[in-house]
């Protein structure tokens, strides 16, 4: 009885060794001009074989393990619990979100400069993820070139400030609108494509934008990037030690306090926070508007939605454009926070990270996306020695999520009525 | 005369790269033809093939074995074994559990797998690019020595011949063998093939293994041609090969070959006459244009969506 199982298990174990040993166990080392192969240390080799053994045993007793797992008590004690009524849930969610925002408002005044800086980055990621959530989570369009719109926002601000001396507050709407325009122009032809083609085309578009930024040296500075991007001002008050522009005053002089470089960091953080909240609120509105429902309808069943009179192009295009708009928003803030941008910041990996945030958080769910953005950005900072493993873990997490919990950690709940059978 | 030679040089370079793209593209097109998903991790399988081949070559040189045909064949066999195991395992772990779900789910799973494999190699072998030893030097030269010389290197000839052999074997395999026939049946109608007693799971695994083996061959060839490998080696090549598959009509094997060649030539003409930096832009623009104006590709069948 155990023969087929045994053969399969043995096969799986051999495959494990074959795919793990050459790459992990034999390291290529460049020695002056030659390349030599070095065996890895014993621990690695032992762990490869241990992994093979685990695979072997698991496959051998797979049926029994699966059966006993089914018999175990549920891991999630709330799984059988009755769902909260929709109105209560929504209220709870908005209370939690408000609580987070209020906490976030006062928090930077008590912590170090480094953590405020990191928090600003988290907020930028939240904006990006919320924007991508519209495209991927709500409209079901897989956009792998989202970072291109982020780049458009960032570069718009950088170039405008360099060539025209435009300030942050002017550049913010311009950058966002230009990114939205790019989304519109790209989206118009490609949104007719089916889902997976769309993914590849957007990926190609992202790469095109990056290559152009890298090679159009005369305008963008190429790989050297653009520096000296000005900080935002508060009603004409600058945060630097000395006033750079004519007619402005400096923040610490106006209020008669000592200069501190922390003011600027906190101010940037607050701007990012306010913009993130605005992003969340606007998208929340959109979700409840007819267009938001149309996005979801088209995602769930395109043919049914079209036969109910929804224009496919218009609905998809609106999602794509709105997503791009918020990416441009985030890009402007990013440029201003860094003070320097280069094409290095807008590689495909960045798109993948934002996508991972949306997927992990639960496609369509705002609270989930916010929590995932915080987790994905902060966890690698907390465990710095593991930061090399960050992308490895992301990749694995994306696969495992899709296999076990494709709806994400905090799936979105739609307003619905549950019909109960009468006893 | 010189201009003509220059043109032919670009053509030869393009056909060389293009035939290697075609080898990778087969993997995309076969998988798409059968289960309708883009195997995003295919480029990484190709990259792992290149790494394995390099490890094998270096290992053999360390043992003092330097007879070129033997080295190449052993490297090829190692690369094919490791890559095809990888392809099999990837399908098993990341794609089979999500098969038949909403379109986006296998795709995201595939992207996750691609990121995972890239970083797996990155962590194990370092992120720097590692030089491939130059095993095949020299070639034929055409034209006078004082002006432009067209060269056709032995490496390029090897790539042509190997690709030709692989493609012929593949065509024979698909048209004559039992598994090949089953592959065709499954790609026409998976459920019906299942009802008729074909073990569709096995056929799908076989598709991944075949695609991965061809990718490994391409990995060895292109690794030697370019002269170095790094963990990101597979990403762009995978995208190019996918473009080639779409160009020729996804799901069609002759289409993948044609698409690969066209893409290779287009790319090398761009680097020859415009600038090497923009060759990726040209190939992606080609992809976008093809998808816009002829989404079925050059040799693909139009797809009718049934309700």
In the prediction, which pLDDT does A74 show?
A: 53
Secondary structure class of A299 (helix, strand, coil): helix
B:86-105 residues touching chain A, CB 8 A cutoff:
86, 88-89, 93-94, 97-98, 101-105
CB-based contact, B1 to chain A, within 8 Å: no
Are B37 and B107 spatial neighbours (Cβ–Cβ below 8 Å)?
A: yes
- How confident is the model over A347-356, as a mean pLDDT? 86
Are A235 and A342 spatial neighbours (Cβ–Cβ below 8 Å)?
A: no
CB-based contact, B199 to chain A, within 8 Å: no
Q: Of residues B213 and A402, which shows the higher confidence score?
A: B213
Residue A326 binned pLDDT confidence (cut-offs 50, 70, 90): very high
Mean pLDDT of chain B: 85
Residue B145 binned pLDDT confidence (cut-offs 50, 70, 90): low
With an 8 Å Cβ cutoff, are A190 and B86 in contact? no
Are B41 and A352 spatial neighbours (Cβ–Cβ below 8 Å)?
A: no
Are B180 and B173 spatial neighbours (Cβ–Cβ below 8 Å)?
A: yes
**Residue A416: pLDDT over 60:** no
Residue A249 bridge partners (DSSP):
A237
Helix A348-361 × helix A366-382 angle, to 10°: 120
Residue A198 binned pLDDT confidence (cut-offs 50, 70, 90): confident
With an 8 Å Cβ cutoff, are B116 and A395 in contact? yes
Helix A262-288 × helix A312-338 angle, to 10°: 170
- How confident is the model over B247-271, as a mean pLDDT? 87
Mean pLDDT of chain A: 80
**Residue A324: pLDDT over 90:** yes
**Residue B144: pLDDT over 60:** yes
> Contacts of residue B112 in chain A, CB cutoff 8 Å?
356, 394-399, 401-402
What is the pairing mode between strands B139-142 and B130-131? unpaired
From CA A89, how far away is CA B33, in angstroms rounded? 44
Residue A244 binned pLDDT confidence (cut-offs 50, 70, 90): low
Q: A87-404 is classed in which CATH architecture?
A: Orthogonal Bundle (1.10)
With an 8 Å Cβ cutoff, are A406 and B98 in contact? yes
Ranges A86-95, B82-91, B113-122: which has the least confidence: A86-95
Ranges A86-100, A149-163, A174-188, B257-271: which has the least confidence: A86-100
In the prediction, which pLDDT does A195 show?
A: 65
User: Which candidate, B285, B182, B197, B189, places its Cα nearest to that of B243?
Assistant: B285
Nearest CB to B62: which of A36, A205, A349?
A: A36
With an 8 Å Cβ cutoff, are A388 and B113 in contact? no
pLDDT, one tens digit per residue, over B191-203 is: 888 899 888 889 9
In the prediction, which pLDDT does B213 show?
A: 94
Question: For the purposes of burial, counting CB atoms within 10 Å of the CB of B93, is it exposed (0-12), middle (13-18) or buried (19 or more)?
Answer: middle
Which secondary structure element, helix H or strand E, spans residue A38, and what is its range?
A: strand A34-39
Task: Give the chain A residue whose CA is nearest to the CA of B41.
Answer: A395
- How confident is the model over A300-326, as a mean pLDDT? 88
Residue A105 binned pLDDT confidence (cut-offs 50, 70, 90): confident
CA distances from A164 to A160, A168, A171, A319, A335 (A): 5, 12, 11, 31, 16
Task: Give the chain A residue whose CA is nearest to the CA of B117.
Answer: A392
Q: What is the DSSP letter of A423?
A: -
Domain assignments of chain A as residue spans, ordered by start? 3-70, 87-404
> Which value does ipTM take for this structure?
0.83
Are A119 and A373 spatial neighbours (Cβ–Cβ below 8 Å)?
A: no
CB-based contact, B85 to chain A, within 8 Å: yes
**Residue B135: pLDDT over 80:** no
pLDDT, one tens digit per residue, over A253-288 is: 666 666 667 777 888 888 888 888 899 889 888 888
In the prediction, which pLDDT does A341 show?
A: 86
**Residue B273: pLDDT over 90:** no
Residue A110 binned pLDDT confidence (cut-offs 50, 70, 90): confident
Tell me the H-state helices in A191-311: 195-215, 217-220, 251-254, 262-288, 290-300, 302-307
Q: Of residues B71 and A166, which shows the higher confidence score?
A: B71
Q: Of residues B177 and A108, which shows the higher confidence score?
A: B177
Residue with tokens 């695609």, as numbered in its chain:
B211
Residue B248 bridge partners (DSSP):
none
In the prediction, which pLDDT does B219 show?
A: 92
Q: Of residues A29 and A316, which shows the higher confidence score?
A: A316
**Residue A115: CB partners within 8 Å, gap ≥ 6?**
none
DSSP per residue, chain B: -HHHHHHHHHHHHHHHHHHHHHHHHHHHHHHHHHH----TTHHHHHHHHHHHHHHHHHHHHHTT---HHHHHHHHHHHHHHHHHHHHHHHIIIIIGGGTTS-THHHHHHHHHHHHHHHHHHHHHH-SS-EEPP-----EEEES-TTS--EEEEHHHHHHHHHHHHHHHHHHHHHHHSHHHHHHHHHHH-HHHHHHTT--HHHHHHHHHHHHHHHHHHHHHHHHHHHSEE-TTHHHHHHHHHHHHHHHH-TT-HHHHHHHHHHHHHHHHHHHHHT-GGGHHHHHHHHHHHHHHH-TTTTTPPPPPPP-
Residue B142 binned pLDDT confidence (cut-offs 50, 70, 90): confident
With an 8 Å Cβ cutoff, are B85 and A18 in contact? yes
In the prediction, which pLDDT does A325 show?
A: 93
In the prediction, which pLDDT does A1 show?
A: 46
CB-based contact, B269 to chain A, within 8 Å: no
With an 8 Å Cβ cutoff, are A26 and B59 in contact? yes
Domain assignments of chain B as residue spans, ordered by start? 33-133+154-231, 242-301
Q: Of residues B161 and A28, which shows the higher confidence score?
A: B161
Looking at CA atoms only, how far is residue B152 from chain A in angstroms? 26
In the prediction, which pLDDT does A400 show?
A: 87
Residue A409 binned pLDDT confidence (cut-offs 50, 70, 90): confident
Nearest CB to A402: which of B38, B112, B128?
A: B112
With an 8 Å Cβ cutoff, are A35 and B131 in contact? yes
> Contacts of residue A389 in chain B, CB cutoff 8 Å?
119, 123
B:175-194 residues touching chain A, CB 8 A cutoff:
none
In the prediction, which pLDDT does A391 show?
A: 80
Residue B138 binned pLDDT confidence (cut-offs 50, 70, 90): confident
Task: Give the chain B residue whose CA is nearest to the CA of A26.
Answer: B55
- How confident is the model over B119-143, as a mean pLDDT? 79
- How confident is the model over A125-139, as a mean pLDDT? 90
pLDDT, one tens digit per residue, over A144-173 is: 889 999 999 999 988 888 888 778 888 888
């Amino acid at each position: 009885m155990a023969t087929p199982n045994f053969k399969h298990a043995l096969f799986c174990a051999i495959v494990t060794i074959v795919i793990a040993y050459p790459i992990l166990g034999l390291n290529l080392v460049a020695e002056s001009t030659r390349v030599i192969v070095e065996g890895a240390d014993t621990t690695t080799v032992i762990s490869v074989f241990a992994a093979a053994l685990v695979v072997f045993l698991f496959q051998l007793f797979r049926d029994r393990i699966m059966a006993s797992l089914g018999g175990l008590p549920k891991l999630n004690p709330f799984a059988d619990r009755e769902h909260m009524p929709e109105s209560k849930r929504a209220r709870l969610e908005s209370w939690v979100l408000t609580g987070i925002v209020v906490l976030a408002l006062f928090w930077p005044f008590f912590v170090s400069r480094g953590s405020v800086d990191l928090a600003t980055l988290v907020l930028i990621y939240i904006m990006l993820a919320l924007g991508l959530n519209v495209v991927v989570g709500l409209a079901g369009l897989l956009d792998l070139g989202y970072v291109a719109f982020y780049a458009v926002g960032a570069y718009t601000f950088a170039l405008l400030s360099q060539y025209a001396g435009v300030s942050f507050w002017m550049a913010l709407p311009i950058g966002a609108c230009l990114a939205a325009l790019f989304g519109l122009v790209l989206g118009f032809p490609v949104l007719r494509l089916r889902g997976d083609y769309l993914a590849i085309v957007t990926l190609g578009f992202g790469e095109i934008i990056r290559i152009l930024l890298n090679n159009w040296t005369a305008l963008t500075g190429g790989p050297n990037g653009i520096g000296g991007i000005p900080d935002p001002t508060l009603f004409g008050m600058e945060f630097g030690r000395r006033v750079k522009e004519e007619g402005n005053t400096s923040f610490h002089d106006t209020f008669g306090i000592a200069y501190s470089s922390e003011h600027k960091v906190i101010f940037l953080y607050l701007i990012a926070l306010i913009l993130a909240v605005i992003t969340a609120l606007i998208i929340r509105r959109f979700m409840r508007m007819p267009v938001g429902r149309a996005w979801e309808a088209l995602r769930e069943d395109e043919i049914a939605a079209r036969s109910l009179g929804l224009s496919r192009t218009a609905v998809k295009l609106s999602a794509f454009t709105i997503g791009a708009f918020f990416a441009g928003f985030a890009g402007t803030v990013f440029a201003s926070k860094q003070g320097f941008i280069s094409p290095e910041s807008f590689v495909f990996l960045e798109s993948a990270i934002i996508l991972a945030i949306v997927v992990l958080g639960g496609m369509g769910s705002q609270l989930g996306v916010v929590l995932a953005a915080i987790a994905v950005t902060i966890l690698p900072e907390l465990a710095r020695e593991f930061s090399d493993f960050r992308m490895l873990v992301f990749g694995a997490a994306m696969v495992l999520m899709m296999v076990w919990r494709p709806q994400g950690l905090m799936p979105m709940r739609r307003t619905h009525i549950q019909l109960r059978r009468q006893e | 005369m010189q201009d003509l030679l220059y043109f032919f040089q670009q053509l030869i370079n393009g056909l060389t790269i293009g035939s290697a793209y075609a080898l990778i593209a087969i993997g995309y097109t076969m998988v798409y033809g059968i289960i309708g998903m883009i195997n995003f991790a295919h480029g990484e399988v190709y990259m792992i093939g290149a790494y394995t081949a390099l490890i094998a070559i270096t290992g053999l040189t360390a043992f003092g074995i330097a007879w070129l045909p033997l080295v190449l064949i052993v490297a090829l066999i190692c690369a094919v074994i490791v890559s095809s195991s990888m392809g099999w395992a990837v399908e098993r772990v990341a794609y089979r559990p999500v098969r038949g779900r909403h379109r986006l789910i296998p795709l995201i799973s595939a992207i996750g797998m691609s990121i995972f494999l890239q970083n797996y190699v990155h962590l194990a072998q370092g992120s720097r690019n590692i030089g491939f030893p130059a095993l095949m030097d020299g070639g034929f030269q055409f034209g006078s020595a004082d002006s432009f010389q067209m060269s056709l290197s032995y490496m390029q000839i090897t790539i042509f011949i190997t690709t030709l052999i692989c493609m012929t074997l593949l065509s024979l395999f698909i048209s004559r063998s039992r598994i090949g026939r089953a592959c065709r049946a499954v790609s026409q109608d998976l459920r019906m093939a299942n009802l008729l007693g074909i073990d569709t799971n096995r056929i799908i695994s076989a598709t991944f293994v075949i695609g991965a083996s061809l990718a490994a061959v391409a990995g060895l060839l292109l690794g030697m041609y370019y002269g170095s490998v790094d963990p990101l080696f597979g990403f762009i090549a995978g995208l190019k090969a996918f473009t080639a598959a779409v160009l020729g009509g996804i799901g069609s094997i002759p289409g993948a070959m044609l698409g690969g060649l066209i893409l290779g030539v287009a790319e090398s003409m761009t680097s020859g006459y415009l600038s090497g930096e923009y060759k990726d832009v040209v190939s992606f623009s080609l992809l976008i244009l093809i998808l816009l104006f002829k989404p079925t590709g050059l040799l693909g069948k139009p797809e009718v969506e049934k309700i």
